[in-house]
Amino acid sequence: MVLEDRGGDGFEPKILIFACNWCSYAGADLAGVSRLQMPPNSRVIRVMCSARVRPEFVITALSQGLDGVLILGCHPGDCHYSEGNYLTRRRGLFLKNLLEYMGIEPERFQVRWVSASEGAKFADIVEEVTGQLKGLCPNRPPGHSE
Amino acid sequence: MPKTRVGVFVCHCGNNIAGVVRVPEVVEYARGLPNVVHVEDNLYACSEEGLSAIKEQIAEQNLNRVVVASCTPRTHEPLFKAACEEAGLNKYLFEFVNIREHCSWIHMHDPARATEKAKELVKMGVAKACYLEPQEELESEVFPAALVIGGGVAGMTAALNLGRQGIQVHLVEREQELGGLVRNVRTLFPTEQDTEELLEPLVEQLKSHPQITTYLGGEVENVDGFIGDFDVTIATDRQTKELKVGTVIVATGAHELKPTGFYGYSRLPNVVTQLEFEERFKQEGADIPRNVVMINCVGARIPERTYCGRFCCTTAIKNAIWLKEQDPEANVYVLQRDVMAYGVDIEKFYRRSMELGVRFVRYDIENPPQIMGEERAEAVKAYHQLMGREVVLPADLVVLTTPLVPREDNERLSKMLKVPLGSEGFFLEAHVKLRPIEFATDGVYVCGSARYPSNIPESVSQAYAAAAKAAIPIRDGLVRVQAITAFCDEGTCTACGNCVQVCPFGAIELQEGRFGTTARVNVAQCKGCGCCVAACPSGALQQRGFDDRQLFSMICALAEEMTSGFGG
Amino acid sequence: MSNRSVLVIGGGIAGIQASIDLANMGFQVCLVESTPSIGGRMAQLDKTFPTNDCSMCILAPKMIECGGHEKVHLLTYSEVVEVQGEAGDFKVTVRRKPRYIDLAKCTGCGECVEKCPRRVPDEFNMGLEKRKAVYLPFPQAVPRKMTIDAEACLYLIKGRCRVCEETCQAGAIEFGQEEELLDLQVGAIVMATGFDPYDPAPLTEYGYGELENVITGLEYERLICASGPTGGNLQRPSDGKVPQLIAFIQCVGSRDVNYKPYCSSVCCMHATKEAILANEHYPELESFIFYTDMRAVGKQFQEYIIRAREEYNVSHIRSRPGKITVDEESGNPIVWYDETMFSEAGDPVRRVTSMEVDLVVLCQALVPHGVHREMVEKLGLELDESGFLAIPDKLIRPVDTTVLGIFACGFCQSPQDIPDSVVQASAAAARVAELLTPQE
């Protein structure tokens, strides 16, 4: 992949979001209830806790051509299962380092905290990450057919 | 293996979804998905009509998976699941897809792309649904008895309430007498009764209640098991008893801090704590001292012990009033750093004490009072913050107001019951706001000063609350666990132990079995977070309803749509 | 049948908790709530001390659990009108006020709200915002059903409009609906009617109602809340400016022989929390809390106060300000007070001084909810001299009222915070269970 090879006009990144049932999924719901508009690039998968997300999910998603993966969880200290999000945070850091080492842009994997009342924050994150990923080239890993 | 037959029901939600997402297109698209045999749309899937339609199709089309694409699962999922059950389909074969809060409502100006997104979300939902398996909710029997550890006011209240609900109770008290901390108090606030008047009837009722067995001079030596099924070992000096209970209440209280090193305590004979004051002076024939200086917040609200003892101000006020009532000429000073007379009664009491002539002197932690005198305390020198100068208060008696501190035994108990202690050493509840007397570990509850210094009405309320919580599983007879728990495929497990370490609830143990040492999940304790699954390197651990195959299938379903990535 | 049923009056956190516990213990529960949704005051809070949990995040699951419990029957927008009988066998009449919505048909989709032309002050947002005549009180309402406010609706007042009826595809609008009287038989009653804020207008020295930038604690709570009228931007009323300096005045109407002599218990922590939130939103912002005694007596409360001082630019001044004036040009309130404490010997002269701030928050007294006074008569209950439900034996029966079979939990019986209310709610459930278990 050549760095200058931007997708050009019309490139719309596809983003996978893992959201935990108790906080971030509810925050996403609130964004909906509040009719906060955002780019339609993301798809949410609900898990009970952000700590359910194993690194292989992220790696699979990116290696199959999804442009970005977000893990959203409760703010540290607020996890419904007390410690889950601490695990997420630690795994997230490790995974970020690994992905960067593999040459994957840091914007493509992020861990963020969204509480159930932060509808606006969810919308902002979707907006922000969509913008970041648009500025990168489409994620077409080596060997991926077009 | 019956062929997977998926039914997809796409909701209009009036105009909420249909006004943005082109529902007929989504319906058409869903028809082409693998394993889908029936697709229909409905104006309001959650209405009587909508639910009936789903039930009908389950029967007519022999559906063995149902996917509903409408609003958020957080509100209506139980409704749809119940409908599936009614139609004879296991409710864990149902999958919900959110195309309203997560689609039509947030992409109102882009119907084309909202429709594409809705299609993909349905595709992901169908992919997961194909891997869903029927689940039975675990029902675990609850042994109909409760253990109460501690026979103070809190423990006795909890035990009596449970007994009167018809539940068998085992009450274990370390001392030879019931009553706990209150036994050392002489008079009560705000009634000014003798504590005997409060304790005696309680003890009588407790001892005579047919459902309650009391073990005096007893210790809980061991507790094994989990909610509904605890094996308890109680030792008294005469015997060791093994019994089974369904729930456990911790009511072990706390004890008064003896402030050695503060203000000449234990060195000077006329420097005492509030409880010692009560023991020595609140009895027939005792000489009431003329000049009494009380010092509040001794050993509390200091860097080494930051918490506030909550009701020690109340105690000081109570004893100050008592002194003035015994001798209106007495000079009673209370040195304080905020008077915690919260609420209605305590504030009223505080006002009364001032009306009786008790004087409150505000001091600062930077400038603590000093005791003057060699063999005995003779006066207290203090910097009076509100007057801006030093005062010297003559003292025949100095009373130190100290907080309750946790019992040393708390650590042993906490390990035995698998419940945590907070940073101060008191028991740490599941959630400080909404679950103040429960633990993260199910089936164990805490009340009274074992949790945090509490006055009598508060301890008693907490005891009633703990009794309510402890009674619920027993009255129900069963503990039901939502079938989103983890389970271990023992043939694949390598016994690495990651899961055991990572589980926030201690629900996993390594045990000997058919395949050697493997991890086993106690479903009754599992909360379904999935932390362990993500930590399992071999994939032996999976979470029902959120297993790896299901989640991978969603990821792959989504990624399959990636062609050139242009105009996504 | 009747002594397996319990009536809970009041759908705030205490009523919700009592209902859940009672239902889990096997009782049928009727939860009567006068507003259209359960949730109470806790739903109006942004965060809760000392954990600074988002209030709605921890409340909503409980609301859903309560509303969805098979043994709980919600009667929202309803009131108790009559109670007869005795413990074990109360006969209660409940009036269901007409919502003009067919609850069986309404799906809570909200299309009617969008089309309704009529706006009135929104109670949930303390009047800082407007809502429609047909409305959902807040997004997480349980039950998620609309209500038409008869005092605001153009059709019900003037016979015009009916746009909602045209819009509703489920046919749920029912203008012909009338109030319903329901008769219930219950074995026990739990009071959980909560509190109201005390209107600080009579304390004219503080200028509430006259000075725009003098607001109450609950109004502040709505302003700082992400789901409130300003989306969590702390914009002061006069000019929308974000304050850089806030003064919190404690004990407004509390601990005051002229108004309420008691201590409302929660305001010291409440003010500290609000000051912390302000600084979290705006790191340059400073707050001063004017207090008499800092009553932080609960678990982790002292540590919270210390953190506020050390990390969030919160300072404490021990003083009860005498008055608040205003700088006419800027709209800045000026707080007049005397410092009561001397930090060094040698300066014992009390000076009256003033502090010009951008916003003043009055931490007002909290009083037991008004409506319950009428109900109290119907139930034959007694009030104490401060208006709280009287508890005759506080030590051993802290949730028993003067009437056997009627229990009281939460603020309606004494000033207390959320954990205490939740404990008392469960305690009331335990007492009900005891009462309704036949004793040999």
Which residues in A lie closer than 8 A to residue C226 (C-beta atoms)?
117-121
Using DSSP, state whether C417 is helix, strand or coil.
coil
pTM of this prediction? 0.87
Structure tokens, B564: 């050139």
pLDDT at residue number B34: 95
Q: What is the CA radius of gyration of chain A?
A: 15
Query: What number is the average pLDDT over the span C186-190?
Result: 97
Cβ pair B567:A67 closer than 8 A: no
- The answer to whether C53 contacts chain A (CB < 8 Å) is yes
pLDDT in the model for residue B49: 81
Residues of A in contact with C51 (CB under 8 A): 77-78
Q: What is the ipTM metric for this complex?
A: 0.96
- Pick the residue from chain C with its C-alpha nearest to B434: C419
Best residue in A14, A63, A74 to probe B by mutation, most B CBs within 10 Å? A14
Q: Is pLDDT at B568 greater than 50 in this prediction?
A: no
In which band, very low, low, confident or very high, does the pLDDT at A1 lie, cut at 50, 70 and 90?
A: very low
User: Taking a C-beta distance cutoff of 8 angstroms, is the pair B524, B140 a contact?
Assistant: yes
Of residues B14 and B546, the one with the higher pLDDT is: B546
Q: Does A115 touch chain C (CB under 8 A)?
A: yes
Calpha distance A42→A68 (Å, rounded): 9
pLDDT digits (tens, 9 = 90+) for B237-268: 989 999 999 999 999 999 999 999 999 999 99
Instruction: Give tens-digit pLDDT for C130-144.
Output: 999 999 999 889 999
Of the candidates B426, B464, B475, which has its C-beta nearest C431's C-beta? B464
C107 within 8 A of B46, measured Cβ to Cβ: yes
Q: How far is C232 from chain A (nearest CA, A)?
A: 10
At residue A4, the pLDDT reads 38
Task: Compute the nearest-CA separation of C141 from chain A (Å).
Answer: 12
Query: pLDDT tens for residues C244-260?
Result: 999 999 999 999 999 99
Check A123 against B106: CB less than 8 A apart.
Answer: yes
* pLDDT score at A142: 65
Looking at the partner chain, which of A23, A33, A34 has a beta carbon nearest the beta carbon of C57? A23
Closest CB to B107: pick one of A40, A46, A51. A40
C76-86 burial code (b ≥16 CB/10 A, e <16): bbbbbeebeee
Helix, strand or coil, per DSSP, at residue C232: coil
Residues paired with residue C65 on neighbouring β-strands, in sequence order:
none
Contact yes or no for A21 and B116 at CB 8 A: no
Interchain CB contact of A45 with B (< 8 Å): yes
What is the average per-residue pLDDT within B434-454? 94
What is the tens place of the pLDDT at every residue in B490-531? 999 999 999 999 998 889 999 998 889 999 999 888 989 999
Task: Quote the percentage of chain C above a pLDDT of 70.
Answer: 97
Helix axes of B153-164 and C418-436: crossing angle, nearest 10 degrees: 40
Residues of B in contact with C50 (CB under 8 A): 432
Q: Which residue of A has its CA nearest to C55?
A: A117
**What is the spatial distance between Cα B51 and Cα A32, in angstroms, rounded to a whole number?**
24
- pLDDT of A8 reads 53
Judged against a pLDDT cut of 50, whether residue B564 lies above it is answered with no
pLDDT of A6 higher than 50: no
- Among chain A residues, CA nearest to C57: A116
From B486, which residue of chain A is nearest by alpha-carbon distance?
A: A52
The structure tokens 């060195």 sit at B267
| Closest-CA residue of chain B to C366 | B343
Contact A45/B109, CB-based, under 8 Å? no
What is the distance between the alpha carbons of residues B159 and B290, in angstroms, rounded to a whole number? 44
Nearest Cα neighbor of B321 from B362, B278, B350 is B350
Q: CB-based contact (8 Å) between A10 and chain B?
A: yes
Q: Between C62, C109, C296, which is nearest B16 by CB? A: C109
Is the pLDDT assigned to residue B63 strictly greater than 80? yes
Closest CA in chain C for residue B425: C299
List CB contacts (< 8 A) between C60 and chain A.
26, 116
pLDDT in tens, C25-69: 999 999 999 999 999 999 999 989 988 878 887 888 899 899 989
> Nearest CA of chain B to the CA of C430: how many Å?
5
Domains of chain A: 15-134 (3.40.50)
Is C226 in Cβ contact with A118 (below 8 Å)? Answer: yes
Cβ neighbours for B143, distance < 8 A, ≥ 6 positions apart: B228, B229, B230, B244, B245, B246, B474
Q: What is the mean pLDDT of residues A10-17?
A: 92
Subunits with 3+ Cβ pairs within 8 Å of B are A, C
Q: Cα B116 to the chain's mean position, in Å?
A: 44
| pLDDT at residue B193 in the model | 87
Name which of C48, C293, C419 is nearest B436 (Cβ-Cβ): C419
Average of per-residue pLDDT across C365-370: 90
Q: What is the pLDDT of residue B207?
A: 94
Q: Do C297 and B14 touch (CB under 8 A)?
A: no
**H helix intervals, C190-300:** 217-224, 267-281
Please tell me the predicted confidence (pLDDT) of residue C440. 57
Angle between helices C13-24 and B456-476 (to 10 degrees): 40
Chain A residue with minimal CA distance to B560?
Answer: A64
Q: How do the residues of chain A divide into helix, strand and coil, expressed in percent and rounded to 5?
A: 40, 15, 45
Is the CB of residue C322 less than 8 Å from the CB of residue C336?
yes
Q: Which chain A residue shows the shortest CA-CA distance from C111?
A: A33
| Neighbors of chain C by Cβ distance (3+ pairs < 8 Å) | A, B
Give the distance from residue A105's alpha carbon to the nearest chain B alpha carbon, in angstroms: 17
Chain A nearest-CA distance from B389, in A, is: 45
Q: Does residue A86 belong to the interface with chain B, where contact is any CB pair within 8 Å?
A: no
Q: What is the pLDDT of residue B1?
A: 56
Has residue A3 got a pLDDT over 80? no
C139: preceding bond cis by omega (within 30 degrees): no
Alpha carbon A132 to its chain's center: 12
Taking CB atoms and an 8 Å cutoff, what residues of chain C touch B341? 263, 293, 295
Provide the shortest C-alpha distance from residue B511 to chain C (in Å).
Answer: 34
Contacts of B165 in chain C (CB under 8 A): 430, 433-434, 437
Check whether B362 has a pLDDT greater than 90: yes
Residue of C nearest to A33 (CA): C139
C231 and chain A in contact, CB less than 8 A: yes
pLDDT for residue B421: 87
CB proximity A124 to C under 8 Å: no
Q: Which residues from B are below 8 Å from A60, CB to CB?
A: 552, 555-556
Instruction: Look at A116 and C56 and tell me if their CB atoms are within 8 Å.
Output: yes
Is residue B139 classed as helix, strand or coil in its secondary structure? strand
User: CB of C361 within 8 A of CB of C274?
Assistant: yes
User: Taking CA A51 as the corner, what is the angle to CA A68 and CA A125, rounded to the nearest 5 degrees?
Assistant: 40
Distance, in Å, from the CA atom of C103 to the CA atom of C172, rounded to the nearest integer, reads: 7
Residue type, B481: V
pLDDT exceeds 70 at position A61: yes
How near does any CA of chain A get to the CA of B477, in Å? 26
What pLDDT digit, counting tens, does each position of C303-318 carry? 999 999 999 999 999 9
Q: Do B465 and C420 touch (CB under 8 A)?
A: no
DSSP-assigned letters across all residues of B295-311: E-STTSSBTTB-S--SS
**Contact yes or no for C227 and A117 at CB 8 A:** yes
| Chain mean pLDDT for chain B | 93
Q: How confident is the model at residue C350 (pLDDT cuts 50, 70, 90)?
A: confident
Q: With an 8 Å Cβ cutoff, is C109 touching chain A?
A: no
A100–B contact, CB cutoff 8 A: no
**CB–CB contact C261 B437 (8 Å):** no
